[in-house]
Amino acid sequence: MSELVFPRPASTPAPGPLDEKFWDLVEADFRSTTARHPIYATYLGIHDYDGQLGDASREAVEQDIAEAHRHFADIEALDPRALSESVRFERELAIHNIRRELFDSEVHRVWERRSTAMDGVGDALFSIFARDFAPLADRLGSITERLEGIPAYLEQHKTRATAPQVKLWQELEIDAGEQMPFLFGEIKAAGLGVLDERAQVRLDKAVETASAAAAAYVETIKAAMGSTVEEWALGSDKYDELVGLRAFDGLDASQILEIGHRQLALNKAARVEDARRIDPNVPEPVVVDRVKSNHPETFDEALASYKDAMMRARAHIIEHGIATMPPGETISVIPTPEYLRTVIPFAAYFEPPKFDKHPSGIYIVTPSVGNDPNAMREHNYASISNTSVHEAYPGHHLQLSAAIGHPSIVRLLTDAPEFVEGWGMYSEQMMREQGFDDGPEFLLAMHTDAIWRACRIILDVRMHRGELTVDEATAFLIEHTGFEHANAQAEVFRYTYTPTYQLSYLLGKVLLLGLRADEQKRLGSGFSLKNFHDTLLRNGSLPISFHRRLLAMSARP
């Protein structure tokens, strides 16, 4: 990475004497972080370390925490009066980012209460295997090196577990470990006809060694299940602290919970009206069942329907001047890898790596969880349209393809799911407003998904306050959404270790609609929907409260 040059955003309205010092600190920390975390570097499109896994030990995590404190002190020590207005903004965003990071590492501490080595292994291999940034033979060479490093990586990971392990989280790790051979097998098969004999033999041996190490690792976790604990909830005080750090435009947890209840009621009422428009002579559940029953016969057909829906949405955006397409953006749609299906029960998106020569997004769709025979009902045509708007156009793919064009490393490192996921949900409604798939069956699917996301707000808050168990939360989700049990349970399992993430979807949409209304009021007849969208997207994936500040800054004479 020594030759990688980071473009720096221009200082506005005029450079400050410490602007360059700020960017020197940011870039030095970024280089150090990606060198210590090769898997993360690959994810970003930095391929200097593609054959490495990095240090997964407790000592390495503690070093990361110490480095975060050092970087925080360096950034905070910069006198904001010696910075330009634009760099003052970046400094405040950097401080926000580090505070969030330190909360996760020092307060929530999932890293020492949950074994996540399988996530690391999966990410390390999938990020190379699924992206065609280099010839397959070259990528398989790097994968082989990483496979060879897995035994040591797993041993290092075990040193983190000095605190009691959470039973549910360990069960998830066991399941992920048992699914990992599927990924290993896909990689091994990919080498046939691509690698020469010597390289294939080395890959086969690496797969065998990694498989044995993963199996032994899973057995170690199983053997320790008797000492695990049930408690996973963050607790009210820590949860309130985290909500404060998320910069939700001043909202606290109780206000967010009230938004969840209100949105649940509003979207349920809207779905009743959608059902009446489809067929006023039968009850709503019958209409919902009809919509869910209208699905492709096979998953292959469903995957083709996902591709069709997203490309129709893309054409609609261009035709109606809704947003600008970033130059060169591309996306692929593939089935969710086996090892991810228990934690991604429906669909997900992997953003284009900023530093790849030809960044491309990946949209994954899950055939089923646990071979559920009813899974195709979740891939009904109306839902396929809504999900493709959310994940691809103008949702995450358009959004994140635009975001990587901003030169700020600080913005690249910002974690703002209420903007990222909120934008996906906002896109669902906005596209219906703009005439895309706006028939009642599509609106019913949109409101059904919004009911699900309203449940996420309620469950996120109540579960981490310790008010609901996993079984109670699963039952609540099934009651209000009609999800199949396997999908609902997989959803709730994820909620247990991602506090405030799940609520970000619908809360983010509510905040974005509020921001749009404020801009419409401010600009009056001068408001342009396309300009509003393009301004948000090119400024990167920031907390909505930071977007609000940027809009206010740009409005000043």
Tens place of pLDDT per residue across the chain (557 aa): 556 888 899 999 999 999 999 999 999 999 999 999 999 999 999 999 999 999 999 999 999 999 999 999 999 999 999 999 999 999 999 999 999 999 999 999 999 999 999 999 999 998 998 888 999 999 999 999 999 999 999 999 999 999 999 999 999 999 999 999 989 998 999 899 999 999 999 999 999 999 999 999 999 999 999 999 999 999 999 999 999 999 998 999 999 999 999 999 999 999 999 999 999 999 999 999 999 999 999 888 989 999 999 999 999 999 999 999 999 999 999 888 776 666 666 778 889 999 998 899 999 888 876 667 777 888 999 999 999 999 999 999 999 999 999 999 999 999 999 999 999 999 999 999 999 999 999 999 999 999 999 999 999 999 999 999 999 999 999 999 888 788 899 889 999 999 999 999 999 999 999 999 999 999 999 999 999 999 999 999 999 999 999 998 887 66
pLDDT of residue 348: 82
pTM, two decimals, is 0.93
Q: Is residue 419 part of a domain?
A: yes
Assess whether 251 and 380 both reside in one domain: yes
| Final residue before a domain boundary, out of 511, 527, 542 | 511
- The parent domain of residue 466 ranges over 237-511
* Structure letter (DSSP) for residue 11: P
Both 222 and 241 in a single domain? no
Q: What is the DSSP letter of 10?
A: P
Report residue 532 as tokens: 């509003």
41 in any annotated domain: yes
529 within some domain = no
Q: Does 533 fall in a domain? A: no
Distance CA 245, CA 405 (A): 26
181 plus 260 within the same structural domain = no
Indicate whether 414 belongs to any domain: yes
Of the residues 172, 193, 227, which one is the last residue of a structural domain? 227
Report how far residue 482's alpha carbon sits from residue 488's, in angstroms, rounded to the nearest whole number. 9
**Do 222 and 244 belong together in one domain?**
no
**Which residues does 524 contact at the CB level (< 8 Å), separation at least 6?**
none
- Shared domain for 29 and 141, answered yes or no, is yes
CA distances in angstroms from 530 to 388, 407, 556, listed in the order given: 20, 22, 21
- Residue 484: the pLDDT is 78
| 46-56: b (≥16 Cβ within 10 Å) or e | bbebbbbbbbb
437/431 Cα distance (integer angstroms): 8
By C-alpha distance, which of 200, 77, 90 is closest to 144? 200
Last residue of a domain, one of 200, 227, 254: 227
Residues 337 and 216 in one domain: no
Q: Report yes or no on 330 lying in a domain.
A: yes
Asked whether residue 80 falls in the same domain as residue 150, the answer is yes
Structure letter (DSSP) for residue 525 = G
Q: Do the Cβ atoms of 448 and 384 come closer than 8 Å?
A: no
Please check whether residues 193 and 329 belong to one and the same domain: no
User: Does residue 267 contact residue 456 with C-beta atoms inside 8 Å?
Assistant: no
Strands (E), 49-193: none
Domain count, the chain: 2
pLDDT (0 to 100) of residue 377? 84
The string of DSSP codes covering 184-219 is: HHHHHHHTTTTS-HHHHHHHHHHHHHHHHHHHHHHH
Domain co-membership, 326 together with 241: yes
Is 532 part of a structural domain of the chain?
A: no
Looking at the structure, tell me whether residues 344 and 294 fall in a common domain: yes
The answer to whether residues 178 and 302 belong to one domain is no
> Sign of torsion, CA 237 238 243 246?
positive
Q: What angle do CA 387, 388, 393 make, to 5 degrees?
A: 130
The answer on 244 and 211 residing in a single domain is no
Does residue 371 fall inside a structural domain?
yes
Which amino acid makes up residue 373?
A: P
